[in-house]
Chains A and B, each alone.
Chain A
Amino acid sequence: MAEVILKGISKSFGETRAVSNLDLIIADGECVVLLGPTGAGKTTTLRLIAGLERADSGRITIGGYDVAQEAPAGRDVAFVFQQYSLYPHLSVYENLAFPLRSPARRLGKDEIDRRVRDVARMVRIDHKLENRSTRLSGGEMQRVAIGRALVRRPSIFLMDEPLSSLDAKLRAELRLELKRIQKELGATLLYVTHDQIEAMTMADRIGILAEGRLVQIGTPRDIYSNPANTHVAARLGQPHINLIPVDVLPDGRAPAGTRTVGARTEHLEISLGGNANAQIDWVEHLGDQNHLHIRVGDCKLITLANPYLPVKPGDKIGLALKNPLYFGADGNRMY
């Protein structure tokens, strides 16, 4: 495992600027998750580190070595692709052994066998080692793909939305397992996703990407409670943060110049009876909690509520802000 440093990395595809002037340090043994919408440059960043793309400018060092001139094979990275990138005509065992059979490694047969079986146990695929890789379910295929990365013990693991093609239940399962494995191995991991739950649960630090730029990087807690701008605020939280004009729910505490107020569930207080300034449009029952769709003037808000809160569509309620986030005209946070 090694420290990976990106300094001033830029990459364009024709007219499109995929990554621009990106600085990022991934500490040895750290799990950094890059979060952002499609086209934000997450995958390109990974591919640049792996050497599958060449940066237009900037430096990439892995473990202190500048790898700019190295081909992917020379960079000692492992990559898990979004698609199940297994070698279809090989068995699970052969897929896992494939990277170890590289002549550059010169591993003995017994050593290969030991490592393959270790990793197979780790990703819980050891009962299907002899199966053809095309005869596996989606979850199993992705386990093998992850196993094939783990078997190498590279400087850094690069994972490009490895769980996005799985169903929700499997995703939750593998997410936990990946985090466990990463901790167990003390692996340096750069993980790309657009799923905020994966980001929140797996990351030591989350980096928010937008239009090829790293907007903010910090611990999940930090990113959630202290977003630098409206874009970052909108990436985390379920339901989405409510971004409303400052004059809709005046609380008298907004700093001068505030244009937008960001209010998550914990920033909203509902009172029944008394001064009604809002109306319930719709109630979605989720079982353990309810989604309330609220209208204040022309503005629509969504918040969570206790399922026993006695409200129904059409009810008038009182809505007040409680320490919300304030953003200026440029979208940046106001303090």
Chain B
Amino acid sequence: MPKFRKETQVTSVTDTSSSILGKAAQATPAPLASRIRGISDRTMAWLFITPAIVLLLAINIFPLIWAVYLSFTNYRANRPNAPLENVGLSNYSRVLSDPNIWQAMQTTAHFVFWTIFLQTLIGFSLAYLIDRKFRGHAFWTTVILVPMMLSPAVVGNFWRFLYQPQIGLFNYIVSFLTGIPPSSFEMLGSVQLSPWAIIIVDTWMWTPYVMLICLAGLRSIPDYIYEAAEVDRASLWRQFWSITLPMALPFIMLAVLFRGIENFKMFDMVTLLTGGGPGSTTEVASITLKREAFESWRTGRASAFAIILFVAVFGLANIYVKALNKVKQR
């Protein structure tokens, strides 16, 4: 999502600036041209960023403020003309006392924990392996990055086939390795397995991303530090624990932050794979939110829930970034 926003900003800025400069250049009479040339750097800077700020306000800040407002009302988006009533904090108290929502929060936490754990572990290990300059390491880096470049919609549909009990490759491989008959388990249909089905797909898709950031961290460690350690008789094990890991730690933490924020609002993969089911076993917070807002049409309450989520993620991310900065300063 943020990627799209950024692109729109950039294009809008260039559009405006080129049109200004274009007009100035196109044989505009002297007064305007000189006036444009006479613009101070500060004004020019404002001219350049104003379109971006306007867009940001229109599609980010305003909806946020509007949602805060709606969260204190009984507004329903399917009945826009119904009289609006101020209900105070009752939306918030209902959300916080709703067991379904707490269930969804737990499911989300479970997803976030396991995806980050697996992605960091595997991603860092891959980065550590690929950092050695063996023959064809550039090729393998590219191969590993492929899942990340695919669209989530493609990945989701892809894995639905892989998870097919009768014809799916995943079930076939598991049965090949363990001897369990392939159609004896349903990754997407079983209460026990479906959360893991999603965790596996998310890990498959986003481990390369974590690997890339970790790789940047590992590449930033200069060779002579390792050479010094080698001369100082540090074993590979000790070099790893006292040089590699501490020096790459800020990068690993950054990857965890990015993946954490992203997976708190995990929506696409769950929708495509299970739609939140079976029952509500994979219903993460964003799915509950969508149901509240666009199936039950309780816009006010959904807004309250969204605000609570926002504050929670924002708060956690802030605490985390403080910790990250401390590690970096060391």
Contacts and interface: CB of A to CB of B under 8 A. Distances in A.
Contact of A79 (B228, B234, B246, B330): B228
A104 B233 contact: yes
Contacts of B178: none
A141 to B, nearest CB: 12
A318 interface: no
Interface in B204-244: 222, 224-225, 227-235, 238, 242-243
A103 B233 CA distance: 9
Contact of A52 (B222, B225, B227, B238): B227
A81 B234 CA distance: 17
A103 B235 contact: yes
B324 to A, nearest CB: 14
Interface string A68-101: 0001110001110101010111100000001100
Contact of A85 (B225, B235, B246): B225
A103 B243 CA distance: 17
A99 B232 contact: yes
Contacts of B234: 73, 98, 102
Nearest to B245: A89
Contacts of A98: 229, 232, 234, 242
Contact of A88 (B231, B233, B235, B247): B247
Q: Which of B222, B224, B233 has the most CB of A within 10 A?
A: B233
Contacts of A87: 225, 228-229, 242-243
Contacts of B228: 79, 81, 85, 87, 148
A80 to B, nearest CB: 9
A83 B228 CA distance: 11
Contacts of A77: 231
Interface residues of B toward A: which range?
10 to 19
A119 interface: no
Given A83-B222, A83-B224, A132-B330, A52 B231 contact: yes
A73 B224 contact: no
Contacts of A81: 224, 227-228
Interface in A140-156: 148, 152
Nearest to B243: A87
Contact of A73 (B222, B225, B233, B242): B233
Contact of B232 (A83, A88, A102): A102
Contacts of B225: 85, 87-88
B140 to A, nearest CB: 24
A159 interface: no
Given A87-B242, A89-B330, A103-B235, A73 B230 contact: yes
B249 to A, nearest CB: 8
A99 to B, nearest CB: 4
Contacts of B246: 89
A316 B229 CA distance: 62
Contacts of A148: 228, 232
A269 B225 CA distance: 53
B231 A73 contact: yes
Contacts of A88: 225, 247
A134 B330 CA distance: 8
B230 A52 contact: yes
Given A79-B228, A83-B222, A89-B246, A99 B233 contact: yes
Interface of B: 222, 224-225, 227-235, 238, 242-243, 246-247, 330
6 contacts: A81-B228, A102-B232, A102-B234, A102-B238, A103-B235, A104-B233
